[in-house]
Structure 1
Amino acid sequence: MPIMPTLYVLLFVMALSSQINAQTTQKPLRVGVVGLVHSHVGWILNRAKKTGDPTIEVVGIAEPNREVAERYMKQYGLPMSLVYPTVEEMLDKTKPDAVTAFNEISNHINVVKICAPRGIHVMVEKPLAVSIDQAKQMEALAKKHNIHLLTNYETTWYGSNHKAFQMAVKDGAIGPIRRIVVHDGHDGPSRMNKEFVAWLTDPVTNGAGALFDFGCYGANLATWLLKGERPKTVSAFTLQIKPDVYPKVDDDATIVLEYPKTQVVIQASWNWPFSRKDMEVYGETGYVFTLDGTRMRIRLKDDKTEQPFEASKTDAPVADPFDYLAQVVRGETKSVDDLSSLQVNMIVMEILDAARRSAKEGGKPIALK
């Protein structure tokens, strides 16, 4: 073999080996968990066992409810020594780089108030807050103390949504977007853990019912697909189909967003016969439908019929929110205008806040100033 090709191969192997060694020796991101009353918390508690990925290490959990903590620790095979009664004690004892909030939406602001002055980054479960006023306070704290404040949605990690974005926004394969229809929800949360249902069905701790719980997904996706454009008006209509089950909040909501040349319809409900998180994106010359995390239906300008399509999980930028959190904190990626970003989720909060006001006024369009 000639000397030069051999040298190139040797250099390539050395570089690859160096990269692998750097990845394997990189310390895990130290993460604290705030709250165990959101059922999505299993996502992080079971992560190490399920994936074997050492990207993050859960170093502490703040949960004042001992019964809830003991139940979760037993379920996921974790020691009670991880659990602290307050956020402050957990932060002082474990010194995390970031925290993930799985508490009531109304308490997201308190997590930021405690963590931001300490320089600890925060990722909350969707939506960001229960009101635009709280969201603005959280935004101000994040900027003042230079921390990342991210919002996690399950649909952010769907390969199908990123493939739809690639086709509709980056490639322009369906022409200018004219209509987006998003369906999200399930048959209701009443069958879930009692501590989760207690705050989820309370307008103070959740902000609303299905309107906030599932309306936020569509607002998030639409804002992202429309590259951060704010709607001109927001209209919303809510129903209480099961007042005996959900006496304090709506359980069905429709939100209509008006843009200069686009309409978005968000259908959020606790009354679907089956769980669903799907979306229809229509352009001038074609459409892209996402059916779940991977399955899609597409019809472009020259197609005579609709075509099924299977997206890959790798179409999403990373596998899950915790890998993404580690990348953002380490400066390996920037969260500016993506689905998790503060910029996008402040607009989401404007939409939800206006939707709640509109619903109270019988669907009156609320103009965003």
Structure 2
Amino acid sequence: MKVWKIGVVGTGWWSEKHLNAWRSIPEAEIMALCDLNEERLHAKAAAFGVSKSNLYSSFSEMLEKADIDIVDIVTAPETHLELVQYAAASGKHMLCQKPFANSIEEAEEMVRIAKEAGVRLMVTENWRWLQPFQLIKRVIEAGTLGTLYSARYIHTDYYTPRMEPAAVLPQPFFREMPKLLFFEMGAHWFDTWRFLFGTPERLYAEIQRISPYITGEDTGIVVMGYDHFCGYLDASWATRQKLDRPLGTGVGPVHLEQLVIDGSEATLKMYTSGKISLVSKDGSNEWMIAETTELDHEASHIRLQSHFLECLQSGAAFDTEGSDNLITLSMVFGVYESAAKHEPVKIGGKNA
């Protein structure tokens, strides 16, 4: 069994999910960590058993000195292009955190650089690997719903109105992001939407900022159209519509997801509780196919990172190749273009 040696750059809040997953995969070994923040770097090294001799504040030094096969990039999108350039030049395969890039042009450049260097590049999109969406995908593929007609995806949270200046946030940079909800989370939602339904041909968006504590948007509705299928994403970090659990004393995300898919033979309903049900064709009967599912981020990263290694070993395409993520990013940026122009934006792709 080949054991892949991993170097992680970026030891912030979400890196814990990556590191826990690598530690859980027999074919992976965490060899080196890199971060400019020494306190954070040493804390993660202690937690995950990485030798002090394999800690770096310089990414180029880590690439030169550490015995690694793979670079796991868990940093902000504005750093990705430079990091990909360095890693590709060193012949390292790469897993790159979403959002992939601040622009389509930067994303295209990273894809080109990796291809020319002969290294593999996958975008870290864990949402499609979450338990409920994996189950829903199997139901769709089994033909249980018949021909799909429409989908309604609702994401609710009451997060941004609690981001007062004195509040301690897990990701405080959210306050200053000029593009917030659909840049930060849209990458997840649109990748999952494409995973379930294929790429829409067009989208239309309306967005709004509600919280006074942020710069970007925190609410919006996006309609996505195909030839014979349509759907919408209704997303907000500033709504009280579905507070079915305590928010807690800390200020952090409490993501509540709902999804309804109508088909010719049945309707599927995913509840915020984690239940997933089917409604019969005549509408007279509803039964549970899963009493509980979870937004199991820890486990989803194990599935995702295992898939990355399996594809490196076999040569198969990644589910979220860097080149494929260009389409997801076009939907993310399409939201802002459509909202600014008040008109639909063409995406193009396969029908559902």
TM-score by length of 1: 0.78
C-alpha separation in 2, matches of 1:175 and 1:183: 22
Deviation at residue 75 of structure 1 after TM alignment: 5.4
Match of 1:44 in 2: 18
C-alpha separation in 1, matches of 2:257 and 2:339: 23
Q: Are residues 109 and 300 of structure 1, via their aligned partners in 2, closer, same or farther at CA, if it must alter by over 3 Å?
A: farther
Q: Classify the secondary structure of the residue corresponding to 1:216.
A: helix
Q: Of 320, 325, 334, which residue of structure 1 is paired with 2:303?
A: 320
C-alpha separation in 1, matches of 2:323 and 2:281: 33
C-alpha contact (below 8 Å) 2:30/2:50 kept by paired residues:
no
Q: Of 136, 139, 143, which residue of structure 1 is paired with 2:111?
A: 139
- Tell whether 2:140 aligns with 1:165: no
TM-score by length of 2: 0.81
Deviation at residue 352 of structure 1 after TM alignment: 0.7
Q: Classify the secondary structure of the residue corresponding to 2:82.
A: helix
Q: How does 1:122-201 map to 2 (within 5 A)?
A: 122-168=94-140, 170-184=141-155, 186-188=157-159, 190=163, 193=169, 196-198=171-173, 200-201=174-175
Q: Of 300, 305, 314, which residue of structure 1 is paired with 2:285?
A: 305
Match of 2:312 in 1: 329
Deviation at residue 348 of structure 1 after TM alignment: 0.5
Q: Which moved more, 1:273-282 or 1:82-91?
A: 273-282
Q: Of 191, 197, 204, which residue of structure 2 is paired with 1:235?
A: 204
Residue 335 of structure 1 aligns with an amino acid whose one-letter code is A
Match of 2:256 in 1: 276
Match of 2:4 in 1: 29
C-alpha contact (below 8 Å) 2:31/2:50 kept by paired residues:
no
Deviation at residue 219 of structure 1 after TM alignment: 0.9
Match of 1:15 in 2: none
Deviation at residue 102 of structure 1 after TM alignment: 1.1
C-alpha separation in 2, matches of 1:299 and 1:161: 18
Q: Are residues 308 and 182 of structure 1, via their aligned partners in 2, closer, same or farther at CA, if it must alter by over 3 Å?
A: same
From the CA coordinates, give the structure whose radius of gyration is larger: 1
C-alpha separation in 2, matches of 1:78 and 1:183: 40
C-alpha contact (below 8 Å) 2:108/2:323 kept by paired residues:
no
Deviation at residue 261 of structure 1 after TM alignment: 1.7
Match of 1:251 in 2: 218
C-alpha contact (below 8 Å) 1:220/1:344 kept by paired residues:
no
Q: CA RMSD in A?
A: 3.0
C-alpha separation in 2, matches of 1:287 and 1:46: 36
The superposition leaves residues 57-99 of structure 1 with CA deviations (integer Å, 9 ceiling, x where unpaired) of: 1111121122332344455565544321121111111132112
Q: Are residues 256 and 95 of structure 1, via their aligned partners in 2, closer, same or farther at CA, if it must alter by over 3 Å?
A: farther
The superposition leaves residues 76-127 of structure 1 with CA deviations (integer Å, 9 ceiling, x where unpaired) of: 5655443211211111111321121111022222222111232211112223
Residue 30 of structure 1 aligns with an amino acid whose one-letter code is K
C-alpha contact (below 8 Å) 1:35/1:102 kept by paired residues:
yes
Q: Percent of aligned pairs with the same residue? A: 19
Match of 1:358 in 2: 338
Match of 2:248 in 1: none
C-alpha separation in 2, matches of 1:319 and 1:293: 23
Q: Are residues 89 and 156 of structure 1, via their aligned partners in 2, closer, same or farther at CA, if it must alter by over 3 Å?
A: same
Deviation at residue 180 of structure 1 after TM alignment: 2.1
C-alpha contact (below 8 Å) 1:287/1:300 kept by paired residues:
yes
The superposition leaves residues 200-220 of structure 1 with CA deviations (integer Å, 9 ceiling, x where unpaired) of: 44446xxx2011112222211
C-alpha contact (below 8 Å) 2:88/2:117 kept by paired residues:
yes
Deviation at residue 30 of structure 1 after TM alignment: 0.7
C-alpha separation in 1, matches of 2:259 and 2:96: 23
Deviation at residue 133 of structure 1 after TM alignment: 1.4
Query: How many residue pairs end up in the alignment?
Result: 326
C-alpha contact (below 8 Å) 1:40/1:102 kept by paired residues:
yes
* Structure with more helix by fraction: 1
Where do 5+ consecutive residues of structure 2 fail to align? 244-253
Where do 5+ consecutive residues of structure 1 fail to align? 1-25
Residue 116 of structure 1 aligns with an amino acid whose one-letter code is A
Match of 1:346 in 2: 326
Residue 35 of structure 1 aligns with an amino acid whose one-letter code is G
